[in-house]
Structure formats: structure tokens, C-alpha cells
Structure 1
Amino acid sequence: MSKIRIYSLAKDLGVDNHKLLEILDSLGVSYKSVSSTLDEDTVETIKEILAGEAEAGTASAAAPDATDVQAPAQPAPATAAPAPSAASTPSAAPAQSAAPATATLTQNAAPAAPHPAPSAAPAVATQEVASLPTTVEIPHRAPVVTIMGHVDHGKTSLLDYIRKTKVAAKEAGGITQHVGAFEAKTSKGRIVFIDTPGHEAFTTIRARGANVADIAIIVVAADDSIMPQTREAVAHAQAAKVPLIVAVNKIDLPQADVERVKTDLTTLNLVPEEYGGDTVVVPVSAKTGEGVEDLLEYISLTAELEDLRADPKGEFSGVVIESRVDKQAGVLATVMVQQGTVHVGDFLVVGENYGKIKAMTDSNGERIKSAGPSTPVQVLGFSDAPSSGDTVKSAKNEHAAREVVAGRVDQRRDAEDARVRRKLSLDDIMGPLGEVREVNLVLRADTQGSVEAIQGILAKKQSDDVKLNVMLAGIGAPTEGDVLLASTAEATILCFSVTPSGSVKKVADQKAVELKSFRIIYELIDEVDRLIKGNLEPVFEERYLGRAEVRMVIRHPKNGNIAGSYITDGSFKRNAKAKVTRGRTVVYEGTVVGLKRFKDDVREVQQGYECGINLDWNDVQEGDIIEASEMVEVQQA
């Protein structure tokens, strides 16, 4: 028997992928993902375990217990009854007997129908179904997928093929220009594809704090392999921290070289599973359809492992994918429903605007009255076109919507005022102490040789405390997409021998992104050193300043007792640390809050001079010895 992939075995045995992974964990079998392969011995062991569990379950069902005696007779075994009927046990049955029914209903609930259909069950059964745990009300939702990659590598062709084969013919026409998303129906359930944004639009949405896509598909042409926009797409997907699947397209071409693509992916830190990594790589042809079913299978498997859930009865929230102004209809906004359910007539709040839904259209172009999680809808009712990535919330009525908008306006103004007054703390600048810092960089240079040379130097600059993460390295001047990526990932853009355009500089200023250009390599390296130093925990040491002898104590009505002293060694500085010794005992440690020469306040007094030393302590006595020191940052190599 040849090796078999985990997900294929799960499908053959009729068990859940999570169940199979749990068995593998218990056996101590290592795997990368559900697409990892298992040998014949492991497969046989798994089959024996499942067979043993099945026998134990049969024996348990056959043995009567106290619960079976007390419960009324049923026309069929509980395990064979539909989930809703399992909850229809009369209320006289013990509470324990309801637990298995709850579990069965939770696991077997279909995503497309989270609420059981009404039946002829008595009123008691209706109450019991309503009292089930909230897991029943939060079913698995369809994954939302975005496709990115280099121009002409077949992103649109792949979407077109999926749309034509997985969506009814009457639904295909005009979907892209109207809704910007479509739903594909597969053997594993629904998959929602966003076909509007490229990777820059994808990051624009992410920059606004929204995460629309659950999975990113990176399309790479088998005859071209990795290209500049491929690198950008990967960087944007990694910045968004979403699962990533690589689709190697155009395998039908005679010059296609899938192995070359897999090898080149390793340069982007994407190691294919066949090479011992965890990146799923699927060869496909958007022209012939070869491998497309495998791609959809992997999407479903990834979604299953991500355990994507949503509550259709919860508070509504969604994200704007795109918006446009139609000359006849007005403002049309495509919204992806993420939680809850939205209805025609609801009041929605977007940013500092609100509107009432006059009409909704689904991805088929048909009018609908409501939409649940993972459903893209086109909404008519906003007065102003919202921006991509704007979060959408619902309000009970127009008055509540206006209150929400007014509150957001006040919050924005307060935040703007606070931003002007606010001084950054050490944690704000460097993050919590004691953890490895990560410096994100976007690198642009004039030639590939320059890029590789700089990357080589940066690799040597990393340490145990600071990691340099080059999110994107490319040839040519930085683009607005680079700025969006840097804004999302809080990265610095470094340019060598290339000059950013005025429009790119303007966008960088607007988004507070550091964009720096260098003509000399050493200046760029100095900037990297500065970034590293700014992300290291500072190391301080106490450095001795001087010593003074207290010769008299001066009583001051406002400043307390002042030590009239003579500097016998070194010097004293205002705000220095102070230690007072009386005999051999240290009686005080604090701060020099003030220094005086005669009646004048001074910053420093040198050896051989008399002065008045004001401590934040009033028990100083004649004969005390005061030592001054300061904390100095140690320069790190």
C-alpha cells in the first residue's frame, strides 16, 4: 500500500480531520498538516483504533443502564435519530441523558442551516432546543478567500473558471462589476471568493484594522515562477497573518516547470510540504481545470483547521469591500457580513456616517431581505460612499445611529488632541521589555546585486534580542503599495540609489511611514544600526561623580534643610543620585534635587568649592558624607 495523505484517509474512513489529528498526536506521529502523508503501518494502526472505538460504542449502546430504564421508549435508537429529534426527550428524563444529544447536534449541524427545521415535537422539546449551549448558535461559516499574484499569472482566469463551474450560469454574468465577490458551491460546502482587490487593495483594508479574507491564494505561473508582484503579494499576505496557499498555474503549457517554482518559493521562506515545509503548493490549470478541485479541497481543509465560526443571531458587524456611485441608484456598497444577520430596513453606521438599507442584492444579482455570516451583499442606502475596509455596525433606529456617529466624532477629536499632547513612553516606542524585538523593513534598490548585498549585510546584523524582518525586497523606486504594506506592518522603507516619487512621499507622510533614501551603502547600514539600537533594551550602569563633606546644616523655610558642603572629590550635578553615609552606615539614598552657590541655583559644582546641597530628605547632619553618582547608558556593540 502506498502512502496516503491524512485528509484522504479521513475522507475514506468517514471521520473528521481533527479526530484523525488527535489520534496521530496520541501515537506520537509527527506531521506538518492534513496534507502530510502516512505510511502503511500507521494507517493500519489508526484503523484498529477506530474499529476498537466503534466496538466499544456498540457495546455501550447495547448495555441498558438506569437512564435507559427511566427514559420512555423511543421508536428508534438515539444515535440513529436526527439531531433535532434527539433533543425531544421528555423533561422527565435525567439531565445527563441530554448531554450526548447536545454534542450530536453541535457536530452535525449543517453550516447552511444553523437552526433546526420546525417539526411536530411537543412544546417541551422546543424549550429544550432553545436551552442548548451557545455552540449550536455559532455554526461553522464559509471561508472567505482572496486571490493575489503577479500580473498575467492567471488570477482572473482562475476565478473565471471557478465561477463558471461552481456557480449557476445565470449567476455568472456581471458579478465582478456589481458585487465584487461570489460564492462557489463545492462538495465541502460554500467558499466565498473576493475578486475585487489586488494585494494593494487587500492591504488597504488591513490597514484600516479589518480582516476580510480568511485565506490568501498566491497564484504563480509555472512558466514564469516568482516575479516582483509575487513577492509583494506574499509580503502582504504574511503581514495580514492569514493562511497562505500557493496555486501554480499554467501547468498545461509545454514550458511549465512546477519544481522550479517550488524551489524558488523557498527564497520567500515558503517551503513546500514536499520539501519538509508547511506551505501547501497546488499545481492547477485555469484553462483546462486540472487541479482546481484539489485547490478547492485544500481551501476547505484549511478552513476546517482554522475552525471558522460566526453567530448568525449575534450583533451584526461587517466590512466594506468596495463602494461606488451609480448614476441612477446612488451609493452602492459591497459589504461582507462577518457576524450576525443584516436585514433590509436596518440602520447601519460606517465611520462617521449612517444610512438605512433600502435594498440588498446578493452575489447572484438577486434581491434579498437578509444575509448572514460570510455573505457578500451589495447595499443601497448610504448617503456617502464608504471606504474599503470600513467597519459596518448596526443601530436600533435612526436616533441610536446618530448617537453612535456623534460619539465617534467626539472620540476622533479627543484622539487628535491627545496625539498632539501625548509623549511616548518607553513601552510605546520599544514594546514590552524582555521579549525579542522585530524590526520590519521594506527594501528597494537600483539593481538585484545591490538588493542581495544589502540583504547579506542585514543578515549579519541580527542578534538574539533583535530580528530584522525584510518583508519585501525589490528593484526600483518604492510604490504606494510599499507604503501601505509598511503602514500595516509598522515597517521602515529603506531605498538605495533609487528616488521615491512625490506622490509616494506624500502618502508616506500621510500614513506616518518612515521612508529614507541613501546613495552610500554605509549610511544605509548606519540607519539600520540606529533602528536596531532603538529596539534593544538599554543597559545602564552607575557611574561615580564625586564626594562632599557636610560642614553645616542650613534651615530653609521652603526648601527644608540644606547641607552646606565642601566638594572633596569629583563633582556634583543636579538630579544626580545621592548616598549619605554617617560613620560606616548608609542612612539615606535619594536624589540631589538642587545645588546652590551662594544664592544662585547651579547645575554643577566642581571639586574644591563650597555649595549648598538640597536633598529630598531633611535629616542630614554635620559630618555626613554625601556621594553623588549618575546612571549612564552603556554603548552596546
Structure 2
Amino acid sequence: MLQNRPPVVVILGHVDHGKTTLLDYLRKSNVAAREAGGITQHIRSFQLNGITFIDTPGHEAFVAMRSRGSKIADFAVLVVAADDGVMPQTKQSIEFIRQSGIPFLVAINKSDLPAADPDKVKTQLTEYGVVVEELGGDVPAIAISAKTGRGLPELLELLELLASMNPPQADPTGSLEAIVLESRLDPQKGPLATVIVKNGTLKIGHGIRALLNSDGQNITEALPSTPVEVLGLKTVPEVGSVLGANTVPSTQQPYSHKAIEPLLNIILRTDFAGSLEAIINSLPKEINILHSGTGNITESDVDLAKTSGAHIVGFNIKATSSVAKLAEVEKVPVHLHKIIYQLIDETVKLITKPVVDKVLGQADIIAEFSMNSDHVAGCRVTSGVINKSAKIRIVRTGLVSKIKSLKSGKSDVLSAKSGVEFGAVFSPSVDFKIGDAIIAFE
């Protein structure tokens, strides 16, 4: 039977506009201070005053995570800083809200600052189709200060009013439907997933060893709208997937994208699947991800990096002393980061632009023969000049060598011009055959 359930409210907005600080004040916690760089880097969910809140990252790399949060929620709070106004991720958040079709209100934060201008924010919002009640629209707006608590009681009242007008419902006895918000591989606990129950009741059993609520307390069951961490899964479920009573979470497939003319190979490790998704979507195509996944760096990662000439890049994870030592011995570069935009910036800097060869000339191999112990290529220059001092590449194989001996007729020469035939001995010796083209370059 359908029953009213606690509303799920997503907090959206631009980076550093105070989303996490707002929830910290309500929850009397200090998550924002513990976040690397003061920026929320994962979806966080918890219950407070009969409301389930989802705190989403504001940095542009986390587009998918913000979108996911808005699709799971019943209502949204769009946080806009009174001194900063509408910013790129504000616009993006408005689009997410519009696509999901959920009711929302605007919280104009930092209204206690000298530079605060709430009226300007309200006017800016109209340019993006958000018209607050004060200007004749239907979107509630309230000025708040997440730092001092000003306006927060009124904010909660507004959310309760929205919920009373549009009460979300679910059937606690119905089919289980739990949405995976985050997932990761914990070195001690194994596969973990943070989920929100949308329908039915999630209980311990059927492989689930434990359920932890948002305060870290063990519970035996999770009712609709309850955020909970699930322990005992056989695999790391994909972010955004649905856990049901008769479904086994699908294994999180390692991300791998084939870059166009990759200039850098990396192995990517992160703490959560959502972070992995965000980073992959933010890296340029010149970076080829050979392997990726959640959890700490392994010896297998080091072995793969060694054989492929790749760098290992980690986000919010560790390398054990033995793995770090192996990487040092094998001369495998390891880059660990705690702030996502720094990881992206520093990884892009690792890209080595290809050196463009200065081509001096080209020739065709028209004969091959042996002289003493040397394997001689009989060639004809088709363009430019073949210098004895130049490097030589066999076009078919890509092999590079140098000219040990260059003769025209019986005479040693230093170069051969277009149309001239010559014999060349390569050192080191490389395979070639009649019909191959060679290029001389600096």
C-alpha cells in the first residue's frame, strides 16, 4: 500500500556557494572543513528533521553526479551566493531541475556579507526562466546565511510546505528499488554502496551483511527515502544502477576510452565510482585510460604501467608501502591527488606533445644484396636529399636507424640528391625489403 514517505531534497548550485556549509549548520557537523580544498567531491546523503538531503558537488567536473542527484530527488534547493550571483554551475543546475520537473526553491546564501545583493541575484535568475515569487513568479526564494544560521528555520518550513503540497509516496511492502548514489571498493570491507531506497524495504540478508545509516549506526532495515551504506555486496555496483530484491548488482566495468592519437597513457584509480566517472569525463581525448577502477593501487597496476609506459594517477586513494616501493624500482610514475580539479590540471600537464620530424628526403628501396657481412639497401632518391648524418625510418615498419655507409657507385658520399641511386648500410641493422620507402629526417 502506498504511504507518504520523507521527501528527498537535493542541494544544487555553483562551487563554493555554500551548499555543504548549509547542511553542516543544519546537521551540526563540519563536513565542509574536512573536504579537500573545501569542495564537496562526492554525493553525500543523510536524513534530518524528516527530510532526506542529498549534497552534490559544485565543481564542473561533477556534472553527472549533480544530474544524478536531481533525478533521484523529489524537491531541490538551488543555492546561489548573494555576492557572486548566477554562475556556470548555477545555470547547469537550473537545467537539471527543469529536466527532472521537480519543485524547487532558491536559497540566496551569504546574505550577511557586505557585498551581498539578493535583489541582483533574483533579477539574474529571471534571465534563465526562474522567476521568484517576489517578482510575480511561482518560485519561493529566501535569503540565508549558512554561516550564522539566518533564514534556515524558514528554509526548513518552506521545504515542509512543498512536501505537504506534493507528498511523495512509496510502498514499504512493495518491490525493492534502491538507487546507487556512490560505490567503491574498500580494502578492508570489500565492495560498498551508498543507496537511497525509493520503494520497498532494504533488509539485511541475501548476501547483505550490514546496513549503516547516515550517522554510521548499524540498522537492520532501510525504509523508503532512507540513505544507507550497504556492506556485503559481491561486486561494486555501477553508480546510478538499481538494486532490487531479485537482482544482483552488476559489476562496475572498468572505464576505458580510446583516445584519438593518445599522447599519454594512464591507469586511473579513485575512491568512488562517481569520482571515476567525473574524472574520465573531464580528461581530454589525448589521454588514453588503459585501465581504471575504484580502490587502492595494486601491483598489477604497476606491472601494466611498466609494460605500457603509463603513468598511474590516483584520486583519494593510497599506494601501500610495498606497491610504492615496486613502482619506485620499476620507475613507474605515480601521481596521487585529493582535489579533483588539481588532478585534471596536473594530468593534462603530463601530456608530451609529439616531436614533429623535419623530413629531409625520401627514397625507395629498389634492390637488396650482401657485401661482406653487410646487408645493403639499393635505393633511389624520390625527393629531397638523403644525408649520411640523418636518421632513417622504414615507413612500413616504423623502425628507425642510421646510415653507417652511403655509396654512389663505388664512391663514398655524404649525401644523395633527388633521382640519384645509392647503396646504404643501416646501423643498427633493420629489416627491409624491395619496395619499402625510407625517410631521412632530423
Q: Given the two structures, how large is their TM-score scaled by the length of structure 2?
A: 0.52
Match of 2:47 among 157, 170, 183: 183
Q: Distance in 1 between matches of 2:189 and 2:47?
A: 24
Matches within 5 A, 1:75-114: none
Q: Kindly provide the CA deviation profile for residues 203-260 of structure 1, in whole angstroms up to 9, marking residues without a partner as x.
A: 5537xxx931111211111111111221111112212222221110001112211111
Secondary structure in 2 matching 1:246 = strand
The match for 1:502 among 271, 282, 285 is 285
* Pairs aligned (count): 249
Q: Which amino acid aligns with 2:185?
A: V
Alignment RMSD, CA only? 3.1
The separation in 1 between residues aligned to 2:82 and 2:42, in whole angstroms, is: 32
Cα shift readout 1:368-416 (whole Å, capped 9, x = no counterpart)? 1111101011101222211221111112xxxxx57x98xxxxxxxxxxx
1:332-391, Cα deviation, whole Å (9 max, x unpaired): 101101111111003xxxxxxxxx211111111111111110101110122221122111
- Counterpart contact for 1:205–1:211, Cα < 8 Å: yes
Letter of the 1:234 counterpart: I
Aligned mates of 1:366, 1:381 — CA distance in 2 = 16
Verify the 8 A CA contact 1:179 1:378 in the aligned structure 2: no
Counterpart of 2:68 in structure 1 is: 205
Q: Aligned runs of 1:328-367 on 2, under 5 Å?
A: 328-346=188-206, 356-367=207-218
1:249, 1:273 → 2: CA distance? 17
Would the aligned equivalents of 2:12 and 2:66 in 1 still touch at CA under 8 Å? no
Q: Does 1:380 align with 2:231?
A: yes
From the CA coordinates, give the structure whose radius of gyration is larger. 1
| 1:227 and 2:87 are equivalent in the alignment | yes
Q: How far apart in 1 are the matches of 2:145 and 2:233? A: 41
> Which residue does the alignment assign to 1:294?
154
Unmatched 5+ stretches in structure 2: 30-39, 251-276, 290-442
Residues 504, 246 of structure 1: CA spacing in aligned structure 2 closer, same or farther, 3 A cutoff?
farther
Residue deviations 1:176-212, cap 9 Å, x none?
A: 9999311112xxxx01111255562345537xxx931
Q: 1:178–1:155: structure 2 CA closer, same or farther, 3 Å change rule?
A: closer
Q: 5 Å matches for 1:209-288?
A: 211-288=71-148
Instruction: Kindly indicate which of the two structures has a greater share of residues assigned to helix.
Output: 1
Q: State the partner residue of 1:154.
A: 18
Output the CA distance in 1 between the equivalents of 2:43 and 2:96: 23
Give the one of 390, 401, 405 matched to 2:241: 390
Deviations 1:600-621 (A, max 9, x none): xxxxxxxxxxxxxxxxxxxxxx
What amino acid does structure 1 have at the position aligned with 2:92?
E
Give the Cα separation in 1 of the matches to 2:16 and 2:140: 22
Counterparts in 2 of 1:503 and 1:245: CA distance versus 1, 3 Å: farther
Q: How does 1:622-633 map to 2 (within 5 A)?
A: none
CA contact (8 A) 1:179 1:377 kept: no
Q: Does the C-alpha gap of structure 1 residues 204 and 390 become closer, same or farther in structure 2, counting only changes over 3 Å?
A: farther
Structure 1 position 145 matched with structure 2 position 22: no
SS, match of residue 86 in structure 2: coil
Structure scoring higher RCO (CA < 8 A, sep ≥ 6) equals 2
Match of 2:79, SS? strand
Query: Which TM-score applies when normalising by structure 1?
Result: 0.36
Contact 1:204-1:389 within 8 A present in 2 as well: no
8 Å CA contact 1:336–1:376 kept in 2: the answer is yes
Q: Which residue type is aligned with residue 157 of structure 1?
A: T
Amino acid at match of 2:63: E
Alpha carbons of structure 1 residues 202 and 303: separation in structure 2 relative to 1, 3 Å: farther
* Deviation for aligned residue 1:316: 1.1
For the 8 Å contact 1:320–1:390, the answer to whether it is kept is yes
Structure 1 residues 252 and 148 mapped into 2: Cα distance closer, same or farther (>3 Å)? same
> 1:475-554 counterparts in 2 under 5 A?
501-502=284-285
* Alignment partners' CA distance in 1, 2:140 and 2:288: 37
Q: Kindly tell me: are residues 503 and 377 of structure 1, through their superposed partners in 2, closer, same or farther at Cα, counting changes over 3 Å?
A: farther
- Amino acid in the other structure paired with 2:7: P
For the Cα contact (< 8 Å) 1:222–1:258, is it kept in 2? yes
Query: 1: CA distance between counterparts of 2:56 and 2:286?
Result: 24
Q: Match for 2:238: what amino acid?
A: S
CA contact (8 A) 1:311 1:339 kept: yes
2:170 alignment partner, SS class:
coil
Counterpart in the other structure of 2:163: 303
**Once the two structures are aligned, what percentage of the paired residues are identical?**
45
The runs of 5 or more residues in structure 1 that have no matched partner are 1-136, 166-175, 347-355, 396-400, 406-479, 485-499, 507-637
In the alignment, does 2:179 pair up with 1:319? yes
Query: What's the offset of the Cα at 1:139?
Result: 2.1
Is contact 2:43-2:57 (8 Å) kept? no
Q: Deviations over 1:142-165 (max 9, x none)?
A: 111111111111111111111118
What SS does structure 2 have at the residue aligned with 1:394? coil
1:338 and 1:271 map into 2 onto residues whose CA distance is 31
What is the DSSP-based 3-state SS (H/G/I as helix, E as strand, rest coil) of the residue aligned with 2:239? coil
2:31 corresponds to 1:164: no
